[in-house]
Chains A and B, each alone.
Chain A
């Protein structure tokens, strides 16, 4: 007998089509952990809308939550799409899966503005440092001196998307590694319970174009440099639909220099230190109570737009006449 969650749904109700990604792709592990996190938090699939751009990672919304609507859109445009969906469906739970090409290059502007607007979404960056679908070109998140499969060397420094997110005012910033299931699932759960934009950068190696010696985001190198900041304990993680309150958590430090995720300067220092050391800090980098999300900031109603009664939207005859009179001479 399979286990059900508090919505009486089975794990299979959170699954999707079979993955068509390469065997061993880090992205499949993200899908698995996301599926488990959603099931365990008893998030109603009907409330979720899955969004993505273009790229290997952007295919993954097809591989979980078959009963939810999904939209695999344009390269770099997931953030704008999510913004529009949020305006139309303010109560929807948005999950966006993007890649490093999608977010750090073609979609950088959209990403930063989504963060600035605090569109409530779990924004996953499945980060492998390469363009997989176009066969192995560097992305902007590859490290300086990384060598590509085509034997070229990265001349420019890495673009850290978490730095970018913090700069744009993000209030949930986390990093994980697709090879660390325990940490990844917990961070995804925290992200899912965050009220505003939650950005989670997940190093997710490409087995074909980014798994060789000399490439930083390979499995071997990531395993070696991964330094989890803390042990995460989720406290009020009981069953129930999306809760009014966010999940509580306790962190037990695993590194000597204490990192305080509630401090922006501590987060920035941590990310800065990575520029000179060969270390990948994973865990909760920054988290504070969310400011107003987009619809709240502008005072827009939370009613879904499709269901608004026509009579509420039509101008009254009086109002129409008033406008004519204002324009009359």
Chain B
């Protein structure tokens, strides 16, 4: 019985293979396999190579693996290079029309052109049926039940016209009959109900349910589907779709400034972007921080710098997000690592922005945002009421209204058109005193910047700011620290490492005090991140009052966290320390 089985499907972008791969995933899940999938796609509409990998294990949660047990080669251009990454034991399902000879013992060659010839009249449909042939073959390779798989396919393809649906079914059956080599026994459980979510949709749902009324954005991979989902969920599921305004702007500078303007004048506003957009938004974030204007920025991280790898994942925007803008700043950052947290954090970010009157960052990533995540329970809806922070609308009879009063970390704000004119104030990004009047007084400036820092640090006391996930192992002096979607490898690491360790997943910044207590209690803290320089590690060290023993473990090639190679790196460091 195989306990870790990996399928790698190589196709050309734009050939409809994504749909077919999703069907294969659904067939596996409905048979009780615990599977996850990662779509490694190119930054291109059609023609470049796409790899879709499916992994089946007996873990509850697990990350990406680069092993390949079953290879499906349907991209002629990458075939020979792909072969190099296979082992002699790999089973291959290949498109025989490529006329490339396979030197792997277990090879199934499918004559695609010939097999689909009679299945449909349309040349376009026929081409798409190639995908169904390999899906059918793979079903047999894993000993899936044909009829049950056809039932799953029928539901999955319910919107297809009948003739096309029938052709797909026939191709699936044909493919199934073509697998002639040894099939695999892979670990599986009793089938259960699954929920398949992409993080971006969950973020959109959180913003929708959290009462975001203004969404501004500029299209950018991998965040575009956040606002697109927000818009379509709003149209289909909300009580009154006209209450929310969604605007596609001319650039990210505009989308950030417009969100700021909306937040300043009373809306719950957010914008969604990725690294290049966050770079463009820097000045606006500084303005929001200094004028104490609430709005939310969701950054679905991709590999940078510059255009980088636009369709590959990364966790390299943390420092930029936490300290955005020139000058002295500090921003609350929420770090979702699961679809449920993507929903929760979007929801809470809107609360926190208004409670703290400042821009709030949410850092997701391409792996969480755009890959399908399989959950065995439904998303849980938040029950809490909105938290809107201190707002004054009525005239104060006794004292003078000071919009930027330093008497507490968060001052009371007034709102244009809604507050009494006696509470009107002039907002400026230049130096100002407690009333908002222009000031170049050094003391006034220091007081303001000190309060702003205190304000963001005070967010630690807010019960709705996500708490770090801590599993302290009293027997161990070693801890492993992660953030965001890298948390998916925790269970695997436990299995791969022969020693016991404590675990910490940081859920938000600035760092909570008990998190420092945790770090101090360990002799070695391994901080595992998908970036080169250990950005969380830098922030932890910089914001700790005492020195911490930290070691960065980094993976930054654009792929989701790989437990095996990370475990190797940890072992190597420990060995060096011990010798």
Contact = CB atoms under 8 A, between A and B. Distances in A.
Nearest to B29: A329
Given A69-B424, A73-B429, A92-B417, A84 B257 contact: yes
Interface in A103-127: 109-110, 113
A66 B424 contact: yes
Contacts of A74: 257, 283-284, 287, 429
Nearest to A89: B265
A47 interface: yes
Nearest to B420: A46
A328 B425 contact: no
Contacts of A316: 239
Contacts of A45: 421
Contacts of B287: 73-74
Given A82-B261, A113-B254, A328 B242 contact: no
Contact of B269 (A84, A109, A308, A324): A84
A271 interface: no
Interface residues of A, number: 61
Contact of B265 (A61, A85, A300): A85
Given A89-B265, A308-B243, A322 B429 contact: no
A153 interface: no
Contacts of A312: 239-240, 243
Contacts of B251: 109
A294 B249 CA distance: 12
B266 A304 contact: yes
A79 B259 CA distance: 12
B195 interface: yes
Contacts of A314: 209, 211
B250 interface: yes
A83 interface: yes
A56 to B, nearest CB: 13
B381 A113 contact: no
A288 interface: no
B197 A327 contact: yes
Contacts, number: 217
A303 interface: yes
B237 A308 contact: no
B521 to A, nearest CB: 39
B261 A84 contact: yes
B452 to A, nearest CB: 18
Contacts of A301: 240, 242-243
Given A312-B240, A322-B237, A87 B267 contact: yes
Contact of A71 (B208, B233, B261): B261
A73 B257 contact: yes
B239 to A, nearest CB: 6
Contacts of B208: 315
Contacts of B257: 73-74, 77, 80-81, 84, 110
A313 B212 CA distance: 8
Contacts of A54: 429
B417 A47 contact: yes
Nearest to A327: B195
A61 B426 contact: yes
A84 B429 contact: no
B415 interface: yes
B344 to A, nearest CB: 13
A62 B426 CA distance: 7
Contacts of A320: 209, 379, 381
Contacts of B152: 329
A317 interface: yes
Given A72-B426, A310-B386, A315 B238 contact: yes
Interface in B193-216: 193-197, 201, 205, 208-209, 211, 213-214, 216
B247 A92 contact: no
A137 interface: no
A68 interface: yes
B321 to A, nearest CB: 19
Contacts of A47: 417
Given A66-B424, A67-B421, A85-B262, A329 B268 contact: no
B343 to A, nearest CB: 10
Given A49-B417, A80-B249, A83-B261, A88 B427 contact: no
A110 B247 CA distance: 14
B6 to A, nearest CB: 21
A74 B284 CA distance: 8
B214 A303 contact: no
B193 A319 contact: no
Contacts of A300: 242, 244-245
B426 A70 contact: yes
A4 to B, nearest CB: 16
B417 A87 contact: no
Nearest to A322: B237
Contact of A77 (B29, B284, B416): B284
A329 B195 contact: yes
A329 B194 contact: yes
Interface string A261-272: 000000000000
Contacts of B193: 328-329
B346 interface: no
A299 B242 contact: yes
Interface of B: 26, 29-30, 152, 193-197, 201, 205, 208-209, 211, 213-214, 216, 233, 237-240, 242-247, 249-251, 253-255, 257-269, 283-284, 287, 291, 378-379, 381, 385-386, 391, 414-418, 421-422, 424-430, 438
10 smallest A-B Cβ distances: which pairs? Answer: A84-B261, A306-B266, A84-B258, A305-B267, A69-B416, A67-B421, A80-B257, A88-B267, A324-B378, A313-B211
Given A80-B258, A92-B416, 11 more contacts: A69-B265, A77-B284, A80-B254, A80-B255, A88-B266, A92-B265, A113-B250, A300-B244, A305-B266, A306-B267, A319-B238
22 contacts: A69-B427, A70-B426, A74-B283, A77-B254, A83-B247, A83-B258, A84-B216, A84-B261, A84-B265, A85-B264, A88-B263, A88-B269, A92-B265, A109-B250, A298-B247, A304-B418, A305-B213, A305-B214, A310-B386, A315-B381, A327-B201, A328-B193
